Chain A
């Protein structure tokens, strides 16, 4: 369930069983080379700690916001290289 616009990649993993929300988010981050904003929609609470952990490892910044009852939006974007 991936929709792509010019600077936004939206990944909807609602309903997915463990561990696919994390796997799909990780794969999307690895594919994203530019400075697009990745938006992950999930209803899998464990992903709220595992996706940020993967993001940190891959050099992405993240932001989590609740987007409904037991649903969250995780925003991921590549951190600018710090000198």
Chain B
């Protein structure tokens, strides 16, 4: 079934798009100004800021939602986003391997490459993943998804973010118990240092597993009778130079990207982030905010055990000052997604009319925030950046996410 998409009709449509573009340009100018301000604190903040913006832009343009990647497998038998996620992880794996090889050329000696997201593997990974998977489906977006949807104007995502901050606060208050009972006994399993695999074996094993996962989701899709519909754009003249420029502009800034293109771009950005300093992650900065909020309210969390050497997003949560590396990446994501939504004319405040959705977003956010604290990262830090770090934790977290998302889809139907 192919249907041409009619050109925008009516004055309201035609006028609103340029107005949003003007705001987008203004936002870009302010973002560049802020980069100049940040460069006075530390020069490295500038590339991190623009990479964060690039990530936010790519997330928005390809509607790259990790929650839907897992959820739609169960809800619709569809795997559009999951295929993009797998491609993105594959791209990141190749880049991370080169970076890690430069840091630790001989993995058998026992050193782990610094900053790589090689996280503890154990019950905390499983419980964290189950909670996170359930919460993200209930809230309609994971942590990064809620961030870019906040920038698109989804009020429900603002409520989710409030819940995520509460959940991260709850885990800070209870972390030491988890550490003493579970996390401190859990091993970090890094493939290159396991069974003499080395980098070649670790990368090969990861890529084969990704290929197997890709084939699995294709089979899963075929089983549900799914066939992806193509929306055909109308013929647009592109003979003159101006028309050609306009066509390229619309392809990047107005039309949604395919999830596979989005995944590849995000993978590439993630590699550049690690080259600059650290793999992509967002919960570290949010944990900082949550702890700062609790401290100012007189509920400062206790000194957290083990977080300095547990790695991942946790390591960064202790940084102080406003302009940190995680600030640049996380707030950059918001700005980049906002610019993307504005250029596409997709920015709009959206208030759910069903009161239940606010409760659902808040509750899902709290559960998800707690889970991300326990797993030391969200779908980005503990999954999208962890599997390419050749860490087993990323795979275990993914399986637990799928389990949580499956239960979440049951809850979604009950609440509809």
Contacts and interface: CB of A to CB of B under 8 A. Distances in A.
Interface string A8-44: 0000001111111011101000000000000000011
Interface of A: 1, 14-20, 22-24, 26, 43-46, 48-50, 52-57, 61-66, 68-71, 79
B396 to A, nearest CB: 26
Given A16-B354, A19-B140, A66 B9 contact: yes
A57 to B, nearest CB: 6
B19 to A, nearest CB: 9
Q: Which 7 A-B pairs have the closest CB atoms?
A: A52-B229, A69-B16, A70-B348, A17-B140, A18-B140, A17-B156, A56-B229
Contact of B13 (A45, A52, A68, A79): A68
B140 A66 contact: no
By size class, the interface of chain B is: 35 or more
Contact of A15 (B9, B346, B351): B351
Interface stretch (B67-75, B86-94, B289-297): B67-75
Contacts of A49: 63, 80, 229, 231, 256
Interface string B59-70: 000010101100
The binding surface of chain A is classed by DSSP as mixed
A57 B3 contact: no
B10 to A, nearest CB: 8
Contacts of A61: 1, 3
Interface string B119-151: 000000000000000000001110000000100
Given A50-B72, A69-B13, 14 more contacts: A15-B350, A16-B352, A16-B354, A17-B360, A23-B412, A23-B413, A43-B350, A55-B229, A57-B225, A57-B227, A61-B1, A65-B6, A65-B9, A69-B20
B256 to A, nearest CB: 7
A21 to B, nearest CB: 10
B263 to A, nearest CB: 15
A3 to B, nearest CB: 15
Interface string B1-22: 1010110111011001100100
Given A22-B76, A24-B416, A65-B9, A48 B256 contact: yes
A23 B75 contact: yes
25 contacts: A15-B350, A17-B157, A17-B352, A17-B360, A18-B67, A19-B68, A19-B412, A44-B350, A46-B68, A48-B231, A49-B63, A53-B76, A53-B226, A53-B229, A54-B76, A56-B229, A57-B225, A62-B1, A62-B229, A63-B3, A64-B231, A65-B6, A69-B20, A69-B348, A70-B347
A53 B13 contact: no
A16 B76 CA distance: 18
- Interface centre among B76, B149, B156, by most chain A C-beta atoms within 10 angstroms, is B76
Contact of B1 (A15, A20, A50, A79): A79
Nearest to A79: B1
Contact of B5 (A15, A64, A70): A64
